[in-house]
Homo-oligomer: A and B are copies of this chain.
Amino acid sequence: MKTSIDCIPCFIRQTFDAVRMLTDDAGVLESVVRSVLSLISDMAFTDPPPLMGQAIHRLIRTACNDSDPYREVKQQSNRLALGLYPVLKSRIRNSAHPFETALRLSIAGNIIDFGTSSRVTDETVHSTIQACYHNRLNTTAVEQLQEEVRRASNILYLGDNAGEIVFDRLFIEELPREKVTYVVRGSPTINDATMADAREVGMTEIVSVRDNGTDIPGTHLEKCPESFTRLFNTADIIIAKGQGNYETLSDSKKNIFFLFTVKCAVIAYHAGCSIGESAIIRGGEKEAGVR
Identify the A interface with B (CB < 8 A): 5-6, 8-9, 12-13, 16, 26, 29-30, 33-35, 37-38, 40-42, 45
Contact = CB atoms under 8 A, between A and B. Distances in A.
Contact of A8 (B26, B37, B42): B37
A4 to B, nearest CB: 9
A40 B42 contact: no
A32 to B, nearest CB: 10
Contacts of A6: 16
Contacts of A37: 8, 37-38, 40-41
Nearest to A38: B41
A30 B5 contact: yes
A100 B36 CA distance: 47
B41 A34 contact: yes
A9 B13 contact: yes
B8 A9 contact: no
Given A5-B16, A9-B9, A37-B40, 17 more contacts: A5-B26, A5-B29, A5-B30, A6-B16, A8-B12, A8-B33, A8-B37, A9-B12, A9-B13, A12-B12, A34-B41, A34-B42, A35-B41, A37-B38, A37-B41, A38-B41, A41-B41
Contacts of A5: 16, 26, 29-30, 33
Nearest to A34: B41
A251 to B, nearest CB: 19
Which of A6, A29, A41 has the largest number of chain B CB atoms within 10 A? A41
A56 to B, nearest CB: 12
A30 B12 CA distance: 16
Nearest to A40: B37
Contacts of A12: 8-9, 12
Contacts of A9: 9, 12-13, 16
Contacts of A29: 5
Contacts of A30: 5, 45
Contacts of A26: 5
A35 B37 CA distance: 10
Contacts of A13: 9
10 contacts: A5-B16, A5-B26, A5-B29, A5-B30, A9-B9, A9-B12, A9-B16, A30-B45, A34-B40, A37-B41
A197 B34 CA distance: 37
Contacts of A33: 5, 8
